[in-house]
Every structure is written in structure tokens, then in C-alpha cells.
Amino acid sequence: MSMDWGYVKYTNGIVLNILKNLATQAGQAIMGIYATDFAVQSKEDNSPVTIADQTANDMITKGLKKYFPKYAILSEEAKDDLTRLMNDYCFLVDPLDGTKEFVKRNGQFTVSIALTYKNRSVLGVIYAPVMQQMYYAAKGDGAYLKDLATGAVKKLSVTNKLNELIWVGSESHSSAKEEELIAQHRSLISEVIQVGSSLKGCMVAEGKADVYYRFGVTAEWDTAAMQCIVEAAGGICRQMDGSEMLYNRKHHLQEKGFYMVNRKENIWV
């Protein structure tokens, strides 16, 4: 099997279908736990974790190892194996993105899977199980949203707006810097929305929001699938200093913050 991007690009429909199926299966398992009186524990960084996180992680990583045994995996809920650094291909997995939203039972959580090639995100799948909405993209082939309840599929595109902008921010991670940036550009912003998980990036890709800024530390698995979807929909994704967002690095934390916007004119940092 050829191990280059040309091969993956040729077969990206097959790869995407596998990722979508794994995300759907994990989402179904998560929903089964969502309906129960599940326990909530704390990690070393005091972030919450539930049996749903680990169950979804086990399902996804088992499937990825079965179908792509030569590819590396970096998951939030698994021990990091730094041999991944020697692999051009690495899956980034957030099996339950938005655990705080899951615990709050507000439905704003997702299953997020991305494939990176030579440090760049090239395939992305984000599934919101409560809404039964599947966002997905392949680099160079567009971004799409499938409603699993109806089967309807639509191609996604960011807006062209320069004013009357909709700002989308974090439900659980807002910051003073975000508030300051909103205040500085209040004349251009018509609405501020707070949403959990990777749904924020999906809203930009879908044209339901125009700008998304996130200050502070995130992890690679938080942004890889979002970035692929937003960029495939015509958006711009960068770190706050304008540098490229890269993946499968030794230190998987992203400390510069990032933005995902519809147009270059709305880059405000």
C-alpha cells in the first residue's frame, strides 16, 4: 500500500466513510450512557471525565487500529505513544469533545476524529449525536453536513460578511481577552453566541457564525477536525500569531490560541 497523500486523497471517500461510521457508533454508545445516572470523575487537570469518554475512545481506537494498522493515533483518553512522531499519518481523536456539556446535559458535545498528514489536518469528522448531525471534510474536496435523521446532505460554505457578524465563543472557556476583542469590534458584531465543543467551528463552516476566537491552551485533538472542516468550507484557521496550526508534534498542547474566521478582513489579532 502506497503511503502518501496521493493515496489517501484517492481513497478519501473510503477513509471518510470509515471515520463517519466509527463516529456514529461511538455517538450511539455515548447516548446510551447519556440516558443513565453516570458518574463524573476528575482528571489531573481537574477536567471532568466519564465512562462515556473511555467507552467512545475504546470503540474508535479499536476501529482505527483494525482498518489503519500502519497509522498512528493520538487520543485525549489514551496514553501518548511518541513513536507517532515517526509516522507521516496520525489520527487525532477526541472521543467526547465537550464533556462539561455532556455532564450539563445540554446536548452540545461531539465525537471528533481527524487524520493528519505530515503535520497538517487533511480529513475531519465531527458528529453531534443529540442533533444527529455529521460534519465532515477532506482537504481539497469541500465540507459537508449530513442530517442522519433525514439523510439530507448539504455542502458547507462560510459567509462573506464583513459586518453584522455573529461571534461564536466557548460555553465553558470564555476569557477576558475574548471580551476585550468583542468590545473593540462591537460595531461589527451583531450577536454573540456561546456554544460548547467543536460545534463552534462547525457553525463557522456552516455560515451560522462568522468569527471564532479562542485564547488560552487547547490540545491538538480539540482543533484538527474543526480546522479541516472550516478550511474546506472556505474559512481561515490560524494561531493567534498568524502561524500555521500543525499537528502530531511532540508537545500536543497548543498554547498560542487560535482563530477560525470567514474572511481575512475579520482577522483582528
Q: Binding site for substrate, residues?
A: 76, 96-99, 222
Reduce the DSSP state of residue 162 to 3 states and report it.
Answer: coil
Total residue count of the chain as it appears in this document? 269
Reduce the DSSP state of residue 89 to 3 states and report it.
Answer: strand
The annotation places the binding site at 76, 94, 96-99, 222
DSSP collapsed to 3 states, 22-43? HHHHHHHHHHHHHCCCCCCEEC
CA distance 183 to 5: 43
CA distance 184 to 169: 16
CA distance 218 to 213: 12
Closest of 240, 182, 242 to residue 215, by C-alpha: 240
CA distance 198 to 101: 11
CA distance 261 to 238: 9
Cα torsion 202, 111, 53, 65: sign: negative
Cα torsion 230, 231, 234, 240: sign: positive
The annotation places the binding site for Mg(2+) at 76, 94, 96-97, 222
* Three cell numbers written together for 219: 490540545
For 123, what's the count of Cα atoms within 13 Å in the CB-facing half-sphere?
Answer: 22
